[in-house]
């Protein structure tokens, strides 16, 4: 039965809607010749220049330039982008169909993701378009870390999200696969659902 207090569903992307595989990305950068590629990628957050492009402190051009200095001479920006996007393995169509169903049931759906412009305008855009729709057809509003200039679990991005989307934490259920992120949201009054590996977000619906 629907919880009448929950009006908004706020979704993380990776590990909730989008399937991800960190090791694919690490291996792709290692093949390009990035020294110590493993050190840049965590399960729930990135490090160094990769965090910079997610929190908006580093531009795409700066990101490419920085990595070209570390990679073999002649490595192109498109090769860097392709390796980076190996993090994403896809969005199962049944999840997109579930998002459509939830909107038809009267929920307002929103997105809050730590992501970067390369993935956002690349593989993520194409994955959301595979049923002939756009991201805007699935969500009533979207917040990305690179646009907000902050990343989860920083409280700043949750405050930004409430202002930008016009939502109230107590009326919102936040889905994320990181305990650090759900704990930060809960401290600000959000209802939260920690989506465990191997489960579907539908198991945590009100």
| pLDDT tens, position by position, 51-74 | 999 999 999 999 999 999 999 999
CB 161 within 8 A of CB 148: yes
Of the two residues 43 and 86, the one the predictor is more confident about is 86
Residue 26 has pLDDT above 80, yes or no: yes
Domain 22-87 in this protein, CATH class: mainly alpha
Residue 55 phi/psi, 5° resolution?
Answer: -90, 5
Q: How far is CA 195 from the centre of its chain?
A: 14
Residue 23 has pLDDT above 50, yes or no: yes
At residue 2, the pLDDT reads 57
At residue 206, the pLDDT reads 82
Q: Which CATH number fits domain 8-19+91-204: 3.30.300.30, 3.30.70.660, 3.40.50.1000, 3.30.930.10?
A: 3.40.50.1000
Residue 6 has pLDDT above 70, yes or no: yes
Nearest to 50, CA basis, from 115, 124, 142, 113: 115
pTM for this structure? 0.94
Catalogue the E-assigned strands of the chain: 8-11, 19-20, 88-90, 108-113, 141-144, 172-176, 191-194
Q: How far is CA 50 from the centre of its chain?
A: 14
At residue 170, the pLDDT reads 96
At residue 45, the pLDDT reads 65
What average pLDDT does the chain have? Answer: 94
CA distance 130 to 18: 13
CA distance 135 to 118: 16
Q: How confident is the model at residue 1 (pLDDT cuts 50, 70, 90)?
A: very low
Residue 44 has pLDDT above 90, yes or no: no
CB 56 within 8 A of CB 149: yes
Domain ranges (residues) in the chain: 8-19+91-204, 22-87
Average pLDDT over every residue of 114-126: 97
Average pLDDT over every residue of 163-171: 97
Structure tokens given for 24: 């694919």
Tell me which residues are annotated as active site.
12
Average pLDDT over every residue of 174-183: 97
């Amino acid at each position: 039965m629907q919880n009448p207090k929950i009006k908004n569903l706020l979704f993380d992307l990776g590990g909730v809607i989008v399937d991800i595989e960190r090791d694919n990305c690490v291996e792709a950068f290692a093949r390009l010749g990035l020294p110590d590629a493993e050190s840049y990628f965590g399960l729930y957050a990135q490090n160094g220049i990769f965090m910079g492009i997610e929190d908006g402190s580093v531009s795409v051009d700066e990101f490419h330039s920085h990595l070209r200095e570390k990679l073999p001479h002649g490595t192109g920006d498109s090769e860097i982008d392709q390796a980076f996007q190996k993090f994403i393995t896809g969005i199962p169509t049944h999840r997109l169909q579930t998002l459509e169903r939830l909107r038809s049931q009267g929920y307002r759906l929103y997105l809050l993701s730590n992501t970067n412009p390369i993935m956002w305008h690349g593989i993520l855009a194409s994955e959301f378009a595979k049923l002939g729709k756009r991201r805007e057809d699935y969500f009533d509003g979207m917040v990305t870390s690179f646009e907000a200039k902050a990343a989860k679990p920083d409280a700043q991005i949750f405050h930004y999200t409430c202002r930008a989307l016009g939502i109230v934490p107590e009326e919102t259920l936040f889905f994320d696969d990181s305990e650090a992120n759900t704990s930060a949201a809960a401290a600000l009054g959000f209802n939260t659902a920690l989506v465990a590996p191997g489960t579907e977000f539908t198991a945590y619906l009100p």
